[in-house]
Each structure stands twice: as structure tokens, then as C-alpha cells.
């Protein structure tokens, strides 16, 4: 029997990615094959107890693979498709002429001339919260432009709600506005916030919401956030229930961090209980929500058919099937009705990412992960031939899905995005592989190392890269593609928020599984801190990262507004899907399931 030392050693169930140096030296010094040894003057010795003939192959034991024991898919696709088919047969709810009449009335609310500016700003705020502002972009821009250029009533220092609301609306709509100029009157002669403000609940709530639009260096807004948060918590027990509901919702997730479509669903219900609600506006919002829901049901029906045809659960039974949750996430990134193609691309991409994450995190050996990463770099159907059987189907689905996007862009814009999309997948796989190497070698990265890799491995850049050429129908150029290849700061920062939100929800479970450490675990180790202190430090880091996002998106953004909005929306849906420390992807709870049903399957009841 000929003895041969292989190039892979088993480490915790996985093969090493490289040949040990001492093996390399022996291989260089000694010819391995029998014929080569004879030519070199070696005598080949055969064990006398073995019969003549071909040497038996050394059988290696199968690799030991881990399991995360994820909960099964919560959605029955047969039932879902049946339900969606029934929904898709119905026409748009209500009489179109009735819808148009309501839209005309809402436009009148915005354009009425005889009301003061605060009333107009409140209407804008309400329209935005209800999710129907996209119908009135021109009217809203005209009002805000008037406020910005003429400074109408904004210097009325006696009305904190006017000052804070005008600041928030102007800043989030890209108008230059200084918090120092608008909010300095809220302080007394000693530099503290005025005591009268401590009893103005609505003013405090408006100040709290405005404070989350801070840029780097906006120290007054930092002070306002701390002050308003503490004051609202103190006043909470004595609040009217309806106002308390507003405060609780804001303290859980501030408006600027909330996913627009989720916020609209919540606010329509909340507004319906407001005694001062405008019934025409409420009726219009319900009709519009139902109309958009029907559009998204059609999208969901299409991607469900695509997913079932791909049949990846057959080759990857250990991985998470989370198509519905991925569509929920995609709706957060691209909520506008006109972005249906973008939602479908992001949902498909994210569903594939979730499966791939489980291969790299749980199932694949290190040798297999290296092979897959190399195959992604080579990109093409032939590159799959050397992959293990279970990897081939997902590899081919990834390549075909991204190639479809690239072909669509080439047809529509005449621009080749194939290299950009392939590079994004390769960068993600390299980041996944890095975390796998950390795990198998028991390496503990620094917090800086972890986050530099983590904003890529969380998959935000990959999804945004795929979204860009679909959103920017007229803005895809060789120059814009080249800009995206290096991942602009805005893409990096929203992905960093995505990573920090993910870590907040998954830290405990990943610790139990023995995965590579999270930002929380690393901070605890580096600073000898408790988990409570580490979580607070990561929340503070998230807040600071949001300041960079705000400045890049609303002050000096290098990209068109639709893509900037998609980036900001990714940060927003990250907060929502991991809200309350729950993992809405791996382990969606009853609350998350209800949110999904309300978004896509349960319309509002509307009286004719």
C-alpha cells in the first residue's frame, strides 16, 4: 500500500484551506508517485500482506457538520399562493372616481391659503405618516420651499412644535437648515432647556423626533434628544391614552428610524382613534394602503413561484427558508409603489443570501467554502462543476438571478453591470469566509476588524448594489457603476447600522452555537464590560453612525434621491426587523408574523 499525506487536516469537522508547511516541504523534497520515485532512484516497498494490484484508496470519515436548529418556515406556500391568487383576481378597491375625489380633497388641505404655516406643516406630517405623500410631492415641495426661503413664522419662539416640526421636515427633505438657529430659543439664560418645555408633551415629542435628524457636530440636538427622552418618560403616566400611544411608539422606534410602510399601517389605526382626524384624509389613506397592498400581493405571487421553481430547500434542507421575511425586508428598502421591480430583486437576492449565510456559518467545511468563494470569483455555469453537489443549485441560481438583472440593465440603459454585481457577490463570500476562518481558528478579531468585515458580511452592500440599477432608471452610467464598486460612505454606514441591529438581536443565540463573536461579545472582551454596558455602547455607536448617514443622505449626497432614500430605508427596516431584540429573519415571533400579515394579506375595512 502506498502511503500519501493529504493536504487537508480536520479541524472541528472542517478541512484546512491551505497545506501545512511541513507537508509542502516533504512534497517538494520527495517524489510522491511510484513511477517518479523509481526514476529518482527510490525503491518502492510494498507491504507483503497486501495482494498485487491497485493500491486501495484511503477513506476519510465524512466531515462533522454543525446544525443551528432553526425553526422551520412559518408560511405554507400552497396556502399562500392560493390566497394570493384570490386577491389578484379582484380589481382595485373602490370606485376610481371616488379615490380621485378624495385625492383632490387632500390636495386642497395642503394648498389652502387661509391657514397658518403650522397647520400646513402638520398636514404634511400627517400625510407622510399615513404613507400617501408620494401622491403630493410637488405640493409638499412648494410649501417647504416657501418655508425655507421666506422663513414664514419659523422664528416664533413661543411655539416649540412649529420650530421643531419645520426643522425636521426641512432637513429630511434636503433643505439647508441649522438646528442652532431654529432651536436656540428653547434654552434659558443658564443654557438649560426652559422649564415650561418640560410640561409640553406634544412639544417634547416633536423635539424628540427632530433630534434624530442630527448631523455630526449637532450637539444641541444631542442635548435635545436626552432631555426630551427623560421628560417624556417622566410625563408618561399622566398622559392621555392616545397621546401615550404616540409616545410609546416613538420611544420604541423614532419616526426617522421607522420603515415607512410599517409606520403607515400603525399610524392609520392610530389616526382613526384621533378625535380631530380628517375623515377624508383617513379614508383616502385606507384606500391607498389597500391598493398598494394588492400590487405587492402580485409581486409576492411572482417571487413565490420563482422560489418554488428554484427548489433550493431540496439541496439545502439545513438552511433557513425565509422568502416572506425577505420580501418584508425588501418592502422596507423600496416602499414606493413604483419600485416593484426593485422589491422583487432585493427579495430574491436576500432570500439567496440567507441560504448562503447558513452554508458559510453552519454547514460548509472550510475547504468547501474556499471552493465556493473561488467559483463566485470565476462566475459562470462551468465554475460549478468542481463544487460539492449540495452547493451547485444555489451557485447556479445566484449566477442566473444576477445575470438577469445585468441583462435588464444592458437592455434598458445600454450599460454593463455584470462586473459590479459579480464583485458584490464575491465580496460578500470573502467576508463570510473570513468569519468562518475566525471560527475554525478560534481567532478573536478586534472590534475594528470585526466591523470592517461585518458591514459587508451583513449583506447590505450586495442588496443595494442590485437595487441601484433598478431604481436609477436614468442614472446608470459607467461613472456611477465605478463609484459603487468602492462602496460609497452612505452604503457603508447604513450597512454598519444593519450589522449593529443584527448583532443586538442574534448575539445570545450565536454565543450558544459557538459562532464567531459579535460586536457585543468583542466589546465585552476588549473593555471587560458587562453585556448591559456593551449593548449601550453599541446603541451609542448606532446613534453616531446615523449622524453620518443623515449628513450623507440629506446634505452632501453624491447619488440621486431615490437611491439615497433606499439606503436610508435599509437602515430603517433593520431597526424594525430586529425590534425589541428579536430576530425577525431567523426566528420571527407572533408579533412579526402579524406585521407581515397586516402588510401583505389583511386590507383595511373601508366603508363605501
Q: Which of 227, 261, 283 is the last residue of a domain?
A: 283
In a domain, 24, yes or no: no
Distance CA 480, CA 226 (A): 39
In a domain, 195, yes or no: yes
Give yes or no: residues 224 and 328 share one domain: no
Tell me which of 472 and 169 has the higher pLDDT. 169
Lowest mean pLDDT across 86-90, 344-348, 547-551: 86-90
Q: What is the mean pLDDT of residues 346-360?
A: 97
591 and 347 Cβ atoms separated by less than 8 Å: no
Give yes or no: residues 529 and 413 share one domain: yes
Give yes or no: residues 434 and 525 share one domain: yes
pTM: 0.88
In a domain, 32, yes or no: no
Give yes or no: residues 154 and 247 share one domain: yes
Within a 13 Å sphere around the CA of 207, how many CA atoms are in the beta-carbon half?
31
Tell me which of 79 and 347 has the higher pLDDT. 347
Give yes or no: residues 486 and 360 share one domain: yes
Distance CA 529, CA 520 (A): 10
Give yes or no: residues 508 and 372 share one domain: yes
343 and 466 Cβ atoms separated by less than 8 Å: no
Give yes or no: residues 503 and 451 share one domain: yes
For cell 392609520, the residue is 268
In a domain, 39, yes or no: no
SS3 63: coil
Element at 572 (helix H, strand E): helix 561-577
Sequential DSSP letters for 251-311: HHS-GGGS-HHHHHHHHHHHHHT-TT--HHHHHHHHHHHHHHHHHHHHHHHHHHHHHHHH-
pLDDT digits (tens, 9 = 90+) for 194-209: 988 989 999 999 999 9
Domain coverage including residue 240:
117-283
| Greatest distance between any 2 Cα atoms in the chain | 107
pLDDT digits (tens, 9 = 90+) for 104-136: 999 999 998 788 888 999 999 999 999 999 999
Q: Which of 265, 283, 301 is the last residue of a domain?
A: 283
In a domain, 277, yes or no: yes
Q: CB within 8 A of 530, min separation 6: which ones?
A: 524
Candidates 353, 369, 345; CA nearest to 417 is 345
In a domain, 91, yes or no: no
Sequential DSSP letters for 231-261: HHHHHGGGS-HHHHHHHHHHHHS-GGGS-HH
Give yes or no: residues 138 and 255 share one domain: yes
- For position 388, which CATH number holds? 1.10.600.10
Q: What's the pLDDT at 69?
A: 80
Give yes or no: residues 193 and 329 share one domain: no
Q: How many domains does the chain have?
A: 2
Q: Which of 283, 303, 337 is the last residue of a domain?
A: 283
Give yes or no: residues 210 and 328 share one domain: no
In a domain, 5, yes or no: no
503 and 580 Cβ atoms separated by less than 8 Å: no
- For position 230, which CATH number holds? 1.50.10.130
Tell me which of 66 and 174 has the higher pLDDT. 174
In a domain, 462, yes or no: yes
Q: What is the mean pLDDT of residues 439-445?
A: 93
pLDDT digits (tens, 9 = 90+) for 16-73: 334 433 334 434 444 444 444 444 444 444 444 445 555 556 676 788 887 778 888 8
Give yes or no: residues 261 and 335 share one domain: no
Amino acid at each position: 500500500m502506498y502511503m500519501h499525506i493529504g493536504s487537508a487536516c480536520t479541524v472541528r469537522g472542517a478541512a484546512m484551506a491551505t497545506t501545512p508547511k511541513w507537508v509542502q516541504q516533504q512534497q517538494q523534497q520527495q517524489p510522491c508517485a511510484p513511477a517518479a520515485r523509481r526514476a529518482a532512484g527510490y525503491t518502492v516497498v510494498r507491504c507483503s500482506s497486501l495482494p498485487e494490484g491497485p493500491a486501495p484508496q484511503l477513506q476519510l470519515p465524512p466531515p462533522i457538520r454543525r446544525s443551528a436548529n432553526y425553526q422551520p418556515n412559518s408560511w405554507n406556500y400552497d396556502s399562500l399562493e392560493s390566497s394570493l391568487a384570490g386577491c389578484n383576481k379582484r380589481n382595485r378597491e373602490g370606485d376610481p372616481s371616488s379615490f380621485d375625489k378624495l385625492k383632490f380633497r387632500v390636495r386642497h388641505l395642503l394648498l389652502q391659503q387661509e391657514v397658518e404655516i403650522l397647520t400646513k406643516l402638520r398636514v404634511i406630517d400627517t400625510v407622510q405618516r399615513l404613507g400617501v405623500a408620494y401622491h403630493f410631492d410637488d405640493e409638499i415641495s412648494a410649501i417647504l420651499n416657501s418655508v425655507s426661503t421666506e422663513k414664514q413664522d419659523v422664528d416664533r419662539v413661543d411655539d416649540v412644535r412649529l420650530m421643531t416640526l419645520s426643522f425636521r421636515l426641512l432637513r429630511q427633505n434636503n433643505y439647508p437648515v441649522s438646528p442652532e438657529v431654529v432651536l436656540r430659543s428653547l434654552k434659558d439664560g443658564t443654557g438649560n432647556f426652559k422649564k415650561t418645555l418640560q410640561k409640553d408633551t406634544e412639544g417634547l415629542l416633536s423635539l424628540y423626533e427632530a433630534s434624530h435628524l442630527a448631523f455630526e457636530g449637532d450637539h444641541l440636538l444631542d442635548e435635545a434628544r436626552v432631555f426630551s427622552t427623560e421628560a417624556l418618560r417622566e410625563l408618561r403616566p399622566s398622559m392621555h391614552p392616545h397621546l401615550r400611544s404616540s409616545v410609546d411608539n416613538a420611544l420604541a422606534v423614532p419616526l426617522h428610524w421607522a420603515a415607512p410602510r410599517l409606520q403607515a399601517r400603525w399610524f392609520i389605526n392610530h389616526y382613526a382613534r384621533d378625535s380631530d382626524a380628517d375623515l377624508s384624509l383617513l379614508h383616502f389613506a385606507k384606500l391607498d394602503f389597500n391598493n398598494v397592498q394588492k400590487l405587492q400581493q402580485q409581486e409576492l405571487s411572482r417571487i413565490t413561484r420563482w422560489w418554488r421553481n428554484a427548489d433550493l430547500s431540496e439541496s439545502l434542507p439545513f438552511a433557513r427558508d425565509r422568502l416572506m421575511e425577505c420580501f418584508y425586508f425588501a418592502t422596507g428598502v423600496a416602499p414606493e409603489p413604483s419600485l416593484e421591480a426593485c422589491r422583487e430583486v432585493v427579495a430574491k437576492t436576500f432570500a439567496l443570501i440567507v441560504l448562503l449565510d447558513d452554508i458559510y456559518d453552519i454547514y460548509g467545511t472550510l475547504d468547501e467554502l474556499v471552493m465556493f468563494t473561488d467559483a463566485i470569483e470565476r462566475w459562470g455555469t462551468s465554475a460549478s462543476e468542481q463544487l460539492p453537489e449540495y452547493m451547485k443549485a444555489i451557485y447556479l441560481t445566484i449566477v442566473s438571478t444576477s445575470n438577469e438583472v445585468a441583462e435588464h440593465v444592458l437592455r434598458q440603459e445600454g450599460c454593463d453591470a455584470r462586473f459590479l454585481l459579480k464583485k458584490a457577490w464575491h465580496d460578500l463570500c470573502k467576508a463570510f469566509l473570513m468569519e468562518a476562518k475566525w471560527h475554525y481558528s478560534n481567532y478573536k478579531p478586534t472590534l475594528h476588524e470585526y466591523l470592517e468585515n461585518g458591514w459587508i458580511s451583513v449583506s447590505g452592500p450586495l442588496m443595494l448594489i442590485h437595487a441601484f440599477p433598478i431604481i436609477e432608471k436614468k442614472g446608470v452610467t459607467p461613472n456611477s457603476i465605478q463609484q459603487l464598486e468602492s462602496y460609497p460612505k452612505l452604503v457603508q454606514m447604513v450597512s454598519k447600522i444593519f450589522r449593529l441591529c443584527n448583532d443586538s438581536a442574534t448575539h445570545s443565540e450565536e454565543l450558544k452555537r459557538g459562532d464567531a463573536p459579535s460586536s457585543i461579545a468583542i466589546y465585552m472582551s476588549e473593555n471587560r464590560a458587562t453585556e448591559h454596558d456593551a449593548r449601550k455602547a453599541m446603541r451609542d455607536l448606532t446613534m453616531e453612525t446615523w449622524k453620518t448617514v443623515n449628513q450623507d443622505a440629506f446634505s452632501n449626497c453624491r447619488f440621486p434621491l431615490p437611491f439615497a432614500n433606499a439606503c436610508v430605508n435599509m437602515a430603517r427596516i433593520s431597526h424594525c426587523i430586529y425590534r425589541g431584540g428579536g430576530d425577525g429573519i431567523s426566528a420571527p415571533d407572533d408579533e412579526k408574523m402579524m406585521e407581515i400579515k397586516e402588510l401583505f394579506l389583511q386590507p383595511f375595512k373601508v366603508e363605501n
